Amino acid sequence: MTIERKVGMGIAGQPSGGAANVADVFSTYLYTGNGSTQTINNGIDLAGEGGMVWIKDRTASKQHTLLTTDISLPSNSYYPINFLATNSSGAMQDIYGGGGTGPWASSFLSDGFSLYNNANYNTASDDYASWTFRKAPKFFDVVTYTGSGSARSIAHNLGAAPAFIMVKRTSSSAGWAVYHKDNGSAKYMLMDAGAALTETTEYTAAGDHWNGTTPSDTTFSLGGHYEVNYLNNEYVAYLFADNSAEDADDQMIKCGSYTGAGAHLNINLGWEPQFVLIKCTSHSANWVMFDNMRGLPVDGNAKDLRPNATDTEGDNSAIGITSTGFLARNGVDGQINANGRAYIYMAIRAPMMKEPSAGTEVFAVDNITSSTSQSTSTFPVDFAIATSGTHYAMSRLTGTNVMATNSTGAEFDWGGGRPEFDHMDGISLSANMNGYLVHMFKRAKGFFDVVAYSGNSVAGHQISHSLGVAPEMIWAKCRSTGGGAYYWQVYHSAVGDTHTMRLNEANTPAALSMFNNITTTSFKLDNWANTNESGETYIAYLFATIAGISKVGSYTGNGSSQTINCGFAAGARFILIKRTDTTGDWYVWDTARGIVAGNDPHISLNTTAAQVSDDSIDPDSSGFSVNQISATNINVSSGTYIYLAIA
């Protein structure tokens, strides 16, 4: 049972006030500094629920800035929010300690936070990443306290035993003491340093960090060490949960450990992460943090930042994302996967736990007619098709490489057209996009998902996904080149799993069972090379029907005109149609170019032909209408057709 259904039934397995969706409690939000004031609307209620915002300049050597709702405001209201820096042992800083002009931050909001000018987090033209953690049961909590100098317990409201704790003395200088459940209560690390795991027994029993006591679901323990509990000093503790014991549908965060293999190592979380923090505990090494907004592709270079350093963002090829966790690669980086070394991690689930409420939240089209390098949407884009003759398919999971839907070729570096997905409102190409048509999709439960996988040439190879429902249409394509040319393969529920189609061709469905056992959590592959060759890498795009937003369907032609009812309220903004009883192109229409009562432009994903205008379709509030004309033959009497429509 999905978590939102549990919430609706009052059986959510979360304490009162628990969040039903990871997007309600965590956000990675990218922005550009403006040197003035700006508001970050990330949908997180900090004003009402409380929490913490972590900010880092990606392009300049600046501090990792933490703004926290629970830290007491200073007496001078001109500084409404002070900050801590994870790369520094220094005390809580104000405007004079950090530089800049104007207050550090204006306020925490019900849907994010607002910023004033500051050198660390709002310098004009600098690029920034922010990570917002909202207080919520079984996810995250913040506790402030005054040190006692002796062993004690601190109450919390996490609703579970903290698995990862960061403690900082705010009133004066001291290191960031870190507890992790897999290190145990007799050891600690420092967030502001790259040192290895340290025994607390270097101090007396009364003076250690965690009092040799494992945290409980109501308290955590402290010894008298000055970094966590010095007499009359002020402290803040950030507490993170581990959901490993929760139902799979309810899990949002996991804290765990692994041993480096010096070769590819899969860390299985049971779901795809959007944020990963890693530290080598057996040796001195930097803390490293990754997220899918800045870049955490299945392979290639992820973008890393180091919480213990002011370094700018760097490339890191030692980590990749999977549909069930993350991959530590060939020991090319001692911070991630050196042979025999010990590592701990904290990971947060990708936001695929809640269905969208409108098509505009998950699909956009931009018909670009001006000089620009970025397309426009109202959401972060996970998959796009950019058309200018060739139809270039690109996805956040595969990074800067692209493939052509009209080609059997492998993915390639587009050079002058290389895509960048690190935007909150579209994608950019390293080229002038004037003349491009860009269709943009966001992954969302029940609507659309993207899965990268490797083939193994074994029938029954099971591929996990996060769609939350059984996909009704699947596009799959080999990305690598080991076996030569591979066709785009398409499954559609109306055609069934005994036949497959090719997106790059106008062919009729072939009697080949490439996809089968398609469920709400996975699908299986036969041992055909186009979808499952050993040693090759693949990408799959999964589509489904969600009421009022998308429709994966079929119809039979009547030879004249007919309305295709998709259950929409204001018509379709995107229409893909393919004839299945004989050959037929993969035709695409959209409202950016025009779906009107008259001629409408369309393209074909399987060809490089220029767009053509004719009156093959007309608008209808419930979906769309199809007309039989010889130019497209999308309504031939007794002809059979499949379609994908988005409201």
pLDDT in tens, 277-298: 999 999 999 999 999 999 999 9
pLDDT of 541 reads: 98
User: Is 546 within 8 Å of 461 (Cβ atoms)?
Assistant: no
Provide mean pLDDT across the span 163-191: 96
Query: What distances in angstroms separate CA 327 from CA 209, 276, 323, one per listed residue?
Result: 32, 11, 10
Structure tokens at 218: 């109501």
Partner residues linked to 392 by β-bridges: 386, 404
Q: Which amino acid, 615?
A: D
Winning range, highest mean pLDDT, from 111-120, 258-267, 450-459:
450-459
Residue 540: name the closest of 608, 607, 461 by CA: 461
pLDDT at 20 over 90: no
Provide mean pLDDT across the span 413-427: 92
Residue 58: name the closest of 318, 304, 301, 379 by CA: 304
Provide mean pLDDT across the span 71-78: 51
Q: Containing H/E element for 234?
A: strand 234-240
User: Is 113 within 8 Å of 105 (Cβ atoms)?
Assistant: yes
Buried b (16+ CB within 10 A) or exposed e, 280-314: bbebebbbbbbbbbbbbbbbebbbbbbbbbbeebe
Structure tokens at 446: 């029940």
pTM of the model: 0.93
Q: Which amino acid, 107?
A: S
Say how far apart CA 347 and CA 38 lie, in whole Å. Answer: 29
pLDDT at 1 over 50: no
DSSP string, 361-383: GTEEEEE--SS-SB---SSB-SE
Instruction: Specify whether domain 248-349 bears CATH 2.60.320.
Output: yes
Coil, helix or strand at residue 642 = strand
Answer with the residue of higher pLDDT: 282 or 72.
282
pLDDT at 148 over 70: yes
pLDDT at 641 over 60: yes
Provide mean pLDDT across the span 507-529: 96
Digit-coded pLDDT (tens) for 333-357: 789 999 999 999 999 999 988 899 9
Q: Whats the size of the chain, residue-wise?
A: 647
pLDDT of 430 reads: 86
User: Is 445 within 8 Å of 353 (Cβ atoms)?
Assistant: yes
pLDDT at 107 over 90: no
Inter-residue long-range contacts of 600-603, CB under 8 Å, 24+ positions, other chains counted: 602/632, 603/387, 603/391, 603/437
Query: What distances in angstroms separate CA 41 from CA 29, 38, 424, one per listed residue?
Result: 9, 10, 11
Partner residues linked to 60 by β-bridges: none
DSSP string, 284-299: ----EEEETTT---SS
pLDDT at 6 over 50: no
User: Is 457 within 8 Å of 469 (Cβ atoms)?
Assistant: no
What letter would DSSP give residue 411?
A: P
pLDDT at 10 over 50: no
Provide mean pLDDT across the span 478-502: 92
User: Is 637 within 8 Å of 559 (Cβ atoms)?
Assistant: yes
pLDDT at 118 over 90: no
pLDDT of 199 reads: 73
User: Is 243 within 8 Å of 250 (Cβ atoms)?
Assistant: yes
**Intra-chain end-to-end CA distance of the chain, in Å:** 27
Q: Sheet containing 437-441: give its strands across.
A: 363-367, 437-441, 383-388, 390-395, 401-404, 412-413
Structure tokens at 564: 């295709």
- Min mean pLDDT across 92-106, 125-139, 169-183 is at 92-106
Provide mean pLDDT across the span 557-583: 98
Residue 449: name the closest of 422, 411, 475 by CA: 475
Every domain of the chain and the residues it spans: 13-134, 140-240, 248-349, 359-441, 448-543, 550-646
Provide mean pLDDT across the span 473-488: 89
Say how far apart CA 641 and CA 635 lie, in whole Å. Answer: 8
Confidence of residue 331 (pLDDT cuts 50, 70, 90): low
Say how far apart CA 448 and CA 641 lie, in whole Å. Answer: 21
pLDDT at 93 over 90: no
Say how far apart CA 225 and CA 210 lie, in whole Å. Answer: 9
Coil, helix or strand at residue 320 = strand
Say how far apart CA 220 and CA 164 lie, in whole Å. Answer: 11
pLDDT of 106 reads: 59
Provide mean pLDDT across the span 69-87: 67
Provide mean pLDDT across the span 103-116: 79
Query: What distances in angstroms separate CA 490 from CA 340, 354, 422, 438, one per listed residue?
Result: 43, 26, 29, 21
Structure tokens at 84: 């801590």
pLDDT at 76 over 70: no
Average pLDDT value for the chain = 91
Answer with the residue of higher pLDDT: 423 or 120.
423
Say which residues have a Cβ less than 8 Å from residue 60's Cβ, sequence separation at least 6. 123, 126, 312
Structure tokens at 542: 């999964």
User: Is 19 within 8 Å of 25 (Cβ atoms)?
Assistant: yes
pLDDT of 207 reads: 67
User: Is 585 within 8 Å of 561 (Cβ atoms)?
Assistant: no
473-478/489-492 β-pairing: antiparallel
pLDDT of 201 reads: 54
Residue 541: name the closest of 474, 472, 487 by CA: 474
pLDDT at 75 over 70: no
Say how far apart CA 240 and CA 10 lie, in whole Å. Answer: 25
Q: Containing H/E element for 102?
A: none
Digit-coded pLDDT (tens) for 21-37: 999 999 999 999 999 88
Digit-coded pLDDT (tens) for 604-635: 999 999 999 999 999 999 999 999 999 999 99
